[in-house]
Amino acid sequence: MKKATSPAEVGRILSDVRRKGLSIGLVPTMGALHEGHLSLVRMSLARSDYTVVSIFVNPRQFGESEDLDKYPRTEESDSKLLEELGCDLLFAPVAGSLYSDADRTRVSVSSLGDHLCGASRPGHFDGVLLVVAKLFNMIRPEHAFFGQKDAQQAVIVQRMAADLDYPVRIFIGPTVREEDGLAMSSRNRNLSREKRSKAPGIRTGLLEAAEAIIKGERDASILKMKISDRMTAAGFKIDYVECVDGGTLQPVQSVEGTILLAAAGKLGSTRLIDNIALKVGPEGATETLLEFPGWSRYER
């Protein structure tokens, strides 16, 4: 596995790869890798000739009072895991090589960030889109892989890629979970043993709401209440519990079509998120991914 720490180095390595006509897959991450990240790397290895994983704790997507300093950094073990998996290139830039104090260009999408994490973390998605756009320009991948775990991010990135004609196909990987259902997250390692035992409450709440939909419940306020009650009982300080349309990410009163149940909350000082996307019709409801291949003109 090769390693690069600056855009110039990446450019040099990838021009060679492109000359050979190899397709490039990109998995952007913030490191502290776990099986959720690795599942996306495996997707890339299966679909692309050459897999690039970026590790960058992007300061532009953290708010003033957020956990940038506390964000886990495990460079050595990350590198080892990627090497073992067969990743071709690890791109781990330092912030100074991606950003300058003089930059003024911002990337944002309208309306998709109005709710969920967009509402509780102002500026977060502009920071995400800026770094993803920069990575797309530096790496020029044919494929890029994102997790359903961050469903709003996945929808927003797909929208940006389509709207700005990035010649990339975005793939969404399902959320990988611990045995007790907790979505894997780099932040889980910040939970005390006691908080860790309560953390699956967010998943249980979402599953109970999904179960209610399957049994015929369509009223979003009743479903949200079920999730909040379960999270509160587990000790979460709720950030949001929402039921939104899977494409527009706007709140719905009644569930129908592709919808996303999503929740975020803090256990102590650790913020956790989770979601479940469902296709709901008269005949019932099935779990789905918020992947919109139709949004891309680059079906490679």
Catalytic residues: 37
Which of 7/72 has CB closer to ligand AMP?
A: 72
In the complex, the smallest distance separating the C-beta of residue 72 from ligand AMP, rounded to whole angstroms, is 10
Residue 130 phi/psi, 5° resolution?
-60, -45
For residue 176, give Cα distances in angstroms to 12, 32, 38, 181, 230: 34, 15, 10, 9, 21
- The 10 Å Cβ neighbour count of residue 258 is 17
Among the listed residues 98, 64, 156, 120, the one whose alpha carbon sits nearest the alpha carbon of residue 264: 120
Residue 105, burial from CB neighbour count under 10 angstroms (0-12, 13-18, 19+):
exposed
Q: N- to C-terminal Cα distance for the chain?
A: 25
149 binds ligand AMP (CB under 6 A): yes
Which of 13/183 has CB closer to ligand AMP?
A: 183
Taking CB under 6 A as the criterion, the residue among 146, 166, 171, 236 binding ligand AMP is 146
Which of 157/231 has CB closer to ligand AMP?
A: 157
In the complex, the smallest distance separating the C-beta of residue 273 from ligand AMP, rounded to whole angstroms, is 10
202 binds ligand AMP (CB under 6 A): no
Report the C-alpha gap between 286 and 281 in whole angstroms: 9
124 binds ligand AMP (CB under 6 A): no
Q: Using CB under 6 A, which residues numbered 9 to 38 contact ligand AMP? A: 29-30, 36-37
Identity of the residue numbered 105: T
Which of 39/232 has CB closer to ligand AMP?
A: 39
In the complex, the smallest distance separating the C-beta of residue 44 from ligand AMP, rounded to whole angstroms, is 11
Q: Using CB under 6 A, which residues numbered 46 to 85 contact ligand AMP? A: none
Instruction: Mention every residue, 6+ apart, whose C-beta is less than 8 A from residue 133.
Output: 107, 160, 164, 166
Q: Are 50 and 25 in contact (CB under 8 A)?
A: yes
224 binds ligand AMP (CB under 6 A): no
Report the C-alpha gap between 241 and 75 in whole angstroms: 34
Q: Using CB under 6 A, which residues numbered 153 to 182 contact ligand AMP? A: 173, 175-176
Instruction: Kindly state the number of chain residues that form the binding site for ligand AMP, as judged by CB under 6 A.
Output: 17
Q: Using CB under 6 A, which residues numbered 249 to 278 contact ligand AMP? A: none
In the complex, the smallest distance separating the C-beta of residue 299 from ligand AMP, rounded to whole angstroms, is 20
Which of 201/220 has CB closer to ligand AMP?
A: 201
Q: Which stretch binds ligand AMP (CB under 6 A): 8-16, 46-54, 144-152, 207-215?
A: 144-152
Q: Can you tell me whether residue 142 is helix, strand or coil?
A: coil
184 binds ligand AMP (CB under 6 A): yes
Report the C-alpha gap between 177 and 141 in whole angstroms: 27
Which of 184/243 has CB closer to ligand AMP?
A: 184
Q: In which residue are the tokens 């990337």 written?
A: 107
Report the C-alpha gap between 105 and 89 in whole angstroms: 28
What angle do helix axes 7-19 and 124-139 make, rounded to 10 degrees? 50
In the complex, the smallest distance separating the C-beta of residue 108 from ligand AMP, rounded to whole angstroms, is 18
Binding site for ligand AMP (CB under 6 A): 29-30, 36-37, 39-40, 146-147, 149-150, 173, 175-176, 183-186
